A and B are shown apart, each in its own frame.
Chain A
Amino acid sequence: MTVTSELNAPAGADKTAFAGLRRLFFQNESLRGLVLLTPTLVILSITVIVPFLLMGAMSLWTQIGFDYTDDWSFRNYGIILTEPLYTTLLLRSLGMSMAATLVTVMLAYPMAYFLAFHVQKNKLIWLIIITLPFWTSYLLRVFAWRVVLGYEGVINTGLMEIGLISEPLSFLLYSKSAVIITLAHAWAAFALLPIYVSLEKIDKSVLEASADLGEGPVMRFLRVILPLSMPGVIAGTFLMFIPTVGDYVTAALVGGPDSRMIGNLIELQFGTVDNWPMGAALAITMIISITMVGLLFMVLSRLLKRWVAA
């Protein structure tokens, strides 16, 4: 008798059938994988796939007053593509989110680099300090930026105190830059951590080898460190870009009339405007455009990597 069947042998007649199943489970790797994935798959299909399909179906309806028409049409998508409001807000959201992602990755990279290569002791403390803002609620961080950027905020009163300006700068709050700054800060950990992990993984002997072979610090960074940390950069970029495109809290709290994002519009369709089919169509359009931008980014980064390595 094998060890496993002895350990788990059930009492009764179906002992052999059970043991057979067990053997099948342990021998067949793909079955084992499927069984292990089942809880995730069930949750995923209930909470993501089914609602997504429902949303797709709903986006093909049309809202009339309190009711939906039940004929299927691409009317909502037609409106999204032809009305300048929707395309502009979608492009603006993509643009603002890209700007925030770019700023964050550029700022996070040196921090992650410092952590990975120059901090020898107490790395955990450093990580905790850097991620400390993320222990507070997202909403609090957004409100903190309102306090910093506000009309009577930290920056304005500070500048007025030292006499650089005589009237508060009004472009700080309720503007695109306010939304981008807030997004960049609020999501920074999502870019920083993957970059740090991929930098940390780089074998230090590779760096020594490149130095031995005569590369200067700049070329070493460009030809060795950057390509090796690219997976982290790409992961960080996606982790930040995808959720920020649809973000609406930030734009609602620190944005002005000119910095409304597609997320605000989607929220309104499911709220005050009460046009759920249009909201669903907008959400799906947003998902498709994020996917397209993502694919484009992946192709570009692959080309870039090949070009740098060549």
Chain B
Amino acid sequence: MKIPQMISEAKRGKLSRRAFTQSLLAVGIVPVMSQVAPRAASASSGHATVFTWGGYDVPEMYQPYIDKHGELPDFSIFGAPEDGLTRLRSGFVTDLIHPCMGDIPRWRRTGLFQPIDTSRLSSWPDVIEYLHDTPHNHEDADGGVWQVPFDWGQTSITYRTDLYELEGEESWDILWDERYAGRIGMLATGDDAWWCAAIKAGVPFEDIATDEAFEAISAVLREQRPLVRTYTDDTSSLNQALASGELVAAMTWNSSAVELVYEEVPVRFAQPKEGALTWVCGFMMHKDAPAPDRAYDVLDALISVPTGEFLTGDYGYGHSNGKVLDLFTDEELAALTLTRDPAELLEAGHRTIPQEPEWTSRMNTTYEQIKAGF
């Protein structure tokens, strides 16, 4: 049935139910098929699949790969790496996944990953040794590594300099400030929040697995909960809420502050006196990676200098390629709250320590209880 005819019949109330259903079906099938078609195509395209956070799926980060293969690799997005691991453990296969350094020993125990042969990466000699040279990363890796470091930075507080009245030095107390109850935002994953709360509670990271530490950290998070407007892993939600003034301060990574400054929102990425949470994240390769050769091309693209320039300049994260830092002046790095020597920044803050799977379950369960109000 033609559309004008259908409309005129509908107007006269004569369109039969069957004709209506048929047209609905036709309308419905097209969008459904258009969803399925490109996916089916990409599955056979031979591209490597990258499992990562939202925001790491932009062409600027994969230019060498695009030059070589004509297109972006395929992506799958997680909210938090732990969520990604759960999906991999239940049978989902991607070539690369993007966890952080402290996760390596625990993730390796799942037996889902293969060591990465660094001799296949042309930019590997430029990768800052400090970032990958940890015992967990090299042991049993056949001379390679388990994780190729990519980005490093801090988890700290982004606050509105015009709306938040700072008393004294910047500190984690900003997120516990009762004057701003209902205008504080928090990250929903324990991977960040729990460790930051440990800094706030004064618990040394070496003791984080003790029962006393659990109690002390739970206590500060419970104390904070009535002040929190939203717990989310969606950084764009947090950014929008900070931009509108709905939130005056939120726990974020570097990129939130950098993006808001670009939008000329008066914010600062705090350097809390107790120290920020610092992290190094990178890519691990699945043992059954369907397109390992392309995955190496993706890795090489990720650690290339142009990618690093974009990552640092636009997102404000440190990059693992040492040559990238030479492209920025000291002032620019300071404005991005980065240092020329990653060790300086990473050692100044607190770095997560690898934990047992039991600890992770207990931590996540407890944090969920606290977020729900118990």
Instruction: Tell me the A residues contacting B by CB distance below 8 Å.
Output: 63-66, 83-85, 88-89, 121-125, 128, 150-152, 168, 170, 174, 256-258, 260, 265, 268, 270-275
Contacts and interface: CB of A to CB of B under 8 A. Distances in A.
Interface stretch (B7-15, B139-147, B305-313, B321-329): B7-15
A257 B83 CA distance: 20
B369 interface: yes
Contact of B228 (A85, A125, A257, A270): A257
Contacts, number: 92
Contacts of A150: 244, 246
B109 interface: yes
B123 interface: no
B364 interface: yes
Given A88-B374, A268-B368, A272-B86, 14 more contacts: A122-B11, A123-B13, A150-B246, A152-B244, A170-B182, A257-B231, A257-B373, A258-B373, A271-B86, A272-B82, A272-B83, A272-B189, A272-B190, A274-B86
Interface residues of B, number: 40
A196 to B, nearest CB: 14
The 9 closest A-B pairs by CB, nearest first: A65-B357, A151-B246, A271-B83, A273-B364, A85-B374, A152-B244, A65-B358, A66-B357, A122-B13
Nearest to B109: A66
Contacts of A124: 10, 13, 15, 17, 20
Contact of B361 (A152, A260, A265, A275): A275
Given A260-B372, A272-B82, A273-B364, A174 B358 contact: no
Which of A122, A124, A258 is packed against the most chain B CB atoms within 10 Å? Answer: A124
A246 B245 CA distance: 32
B371 A257 contact: yes
B230 A174 contact: yes
Contacts of B356: 65
Nearest to A174: B230
Contacts of B225: 257
B80 interface: yes
Contacts of B85: 274
Interface of B: 10-11, 13, 15, 17, 20, 79-80, 82-83, 85-86, 89, 109-110, 182, 189-190, 225, 228-231, 241, 244-246, 356-358, 360-361, 364-365, 368-369, 371-374
Secondary structure at chain A's binding surface: helix, strand, loop or mixed?
Answer: loop
Given A257-B230, A258-B373, A274-B86, A66 B110 contact: yes
A64 B365 CA distance: 13
A130 B182 CA distance: 37
15 contacts: A88-B373, A89-B372, A122-B11, A168-B246, A170-B246, A174-B230, A257-B371, A257-B373, A265-B372, A272-B364, A274-B89, A274-B360, A274-B364, A275-B361, A275-B365
Nearest to A137: B31
A139 to B, nearest CB: 13
B228 to A, nearest CB: 6
Contacts of A65: 356-358, 361
A275 B15 CA distance: 52
Given A66-B109, A66-B357, A124-B13, A256 B83 contact: no
A151 B182 CA distance: 12
Contacts of B82: 271-272, 274
B319 to A, nearest CB: 27
B229 A170 contact: yes
Contacts of A272: 79-80, 82-83, 86, 189-190, 364
Contacts of A63: 361
